[in-house]
Structure 1
Amino acid sequence: MTKPVAIITGASSGMGESAAKQFFDAGYTVYAGARRIEKMAHLSKLGIHTLRLDVTDPQSNQAFVDQVLKDAGRIDILINNAGYGSFGALEDVSPEEAKQQFDVNVFGAMNLTQLVLPTMRAQHSGRIINNSSIVGQIYAPLGGWYFASKHAFEALSDSLRLEVKQFGIEVVITEPGGTNTNWLKISADHLIAATPANSAYRKMVDAFTSATPTGLETADQIGALMLKVAQTKHPKTRYQATMRDKWMVIAARKLSYRMFDRMVSGGL
């Protein structure tokens, strides 16, 4: 029996790395992509196919998909996991930085999606798993551009789901909350670096970065969630990893905007 083929982006660390391992252990032929291919050497040793991939470069995306099809002849799963968060007050964040977040988190993922769809349509099967975040359904201070990119990512995913259902293709969104990975520290470091010492928002930033996050999910939890989504016969449209994340999304839907403002602002 032919092994199902899974593409996983952003696989050099964190959630993508864990997903690559878990899908491989579950019997998938895995193609892992990341900008720094040397950081995936350990995945290659396991038998996972590793290829350089810069999702913001259409030529890189095309070359990646072409190689998968040349080797495997099919694509069953696409996990759009590559992404990053750069926080800061909207007044402080440069237009270039804002655009970069959309280039990675939205346009890059959608370009790769466009490239795999003809194959999935021809197969009349396939599943696209877009790894977003609970922030794709909520809002909070100091994350406007990142949150906006995830809202856009989810809106596109919802439209795509309705468009490709007729071809036997499913689109599912996973929504991690805070994860216990380097991503959180890198985001905090970027936030401090992006905020001038004399910024009107410096006090808010210092309070935000000095807070100790609790209840963080592990990369393995999210990797397991992605595998669950891939293997569920009739998946839901969205999955959160923990009850805390589920309640946060429910609160965003049920509370008044003023009440939710107070909830997410906290002591900031």
Structure 2
Amino acid sequence: MTDKVAIVTGASSGIGEATARKLRTQGFTVYAAARRVDRMAPLAEVGIRPVRVDVTDDASMVGFVEQVVAESGRVDVLVNNAGYGSYGAVEDVPLDEARRQFEVNVFGLARLTQLVLPHMRRQGSGRIVNISSIGGKIYEPLGGWYHATKFAVEGLSDSMRMELAPLGIHVVVIQPGAIATEWSGIAGQHLLATSGQGAYADQAERAAAFFMADPTGQASPPSVIANAVAKAATARRPRTRYAVGRGAKPILAARRVLPDRAFDRLMDAVLRNLSRVATRQAARERRLADQRG
């Protein structure tokens, strides 16, 4: 496997960092791409090659793929992990921000895929692994634009899977559930900044309380996603989708069997309950901090 080459985007933290490390242990030459190249110094210490890449900058992506091919001669696996969650009521989110989320979560993924495909076609093999979310199949209030991007990733991946299969290239979707990364905290901050005042403030406060804490204390570590990516990258015949992480499989199963209105009620009840748990947890932590102070 020492001649296999993998690219992982969004590799400066969380799922991307864990995936880069896992693929390296599997024998891949790994290129770790992210804007925050300084945060990838620990990856370089284990033989991973960090490169500053902005998936909203076409020249940055073109130069990056050219560098990988010039240095390593091939691209075997592309893990499209770069993305973020910008939450807020559809009425409140500026369209410029909505467009930016599509640029990062969808168009950056699509453009980097376009750039590696000629090399994979020439090889007659390759894997495109797209990090989606259970949010590509379900929905929640105040997450319209984020869910729209992930629904788009799911549809784009399905179409690519069919058109690339005759060329020996597999397309795989990873659907994370609750994962312990900085994603949730960032999403909660965006939510409060966007809809923390006005008509949606009550909903925003409840949702942010959930996002900015792990109310169950049991969110899965990023390594569970990295392990799924490694399976997708190395299996002779990978599955089309891997739903992994806390809650992923039962939530997706509920969505498949429940009518829309029933699922609406289920999601509302779950979010309200988790918000209450998170609020109580935050209150306990404040009391403990006061006692220590």
Scaled by the length of structure 1, what TM-score is found? Answer: 0.96
Equivalence for 1:192: 192
Moved more, 241-250 or 110-119: 241-250
- In 2, Cα distance between the equivalents of 1:7 and 1:132? 17
Equivalence for 2:291: none
Cα offset, 1:2, TM superposition: 4.5
SS at match of 1:235: coil
- In 1, Cα distance between the equivalents of 2:204 and 2:221? 25
Decide which structure has the larger Cα Rg and report it: 2
Q: How does 1:54-203 map to 2 (within 5 A)?
A: 54-197=54-197, 199-203=198-202
User: Is 1:210 aligned with 2:209?
Assistant: yes
Equivalence for 1:263: 266
Equivalence for 1:46: 46
| Cα shift readout 1:53-79 (whole Å, capped 9, x = no counterpart) | 001111111001000000000000000
Letter in 2 for 1:187: A
Q: Which runs of 5+ in 1 are unaligned?
A: none
- In 1, Cα distance between the equivalents of 2:199 and 2:6? 46
SS at match of 1:6: strand
Letter in 1 for 2:249: K
Q: How does 1:236-251 map to 2 (within 5 A)?
A: 236-242=239-245, 244-251=247-254
Letter in 2 for 1:238: R
Cα offset, 1:196, TM superposition: 4.5
Q: CA distance change for structure 1 residues 2 and 25 in 2, over 3 Å: closer, same or farther?
A: closer
Number of equivalences: 267
Equivalence for 1:34: 34
- In 2, Cα distance between the equivalents of 1:241 and 1:226? 10
Contact 1:178 1:184 in 2 (8 A): no
Moved more, 170-179 or 235-244: 235-244
Scaled by the length of structure 2, what TM-score is found? Answer: 0.88
Q: Which runs of 5+ in 2 are unaligned?
A: 276-293
- In 1, Cα distance between the equivalents of 2:247 and 2:18? 22
Letter in 2 for 1:245: A
Query: Identity of paired residues, percent?
Result: 49
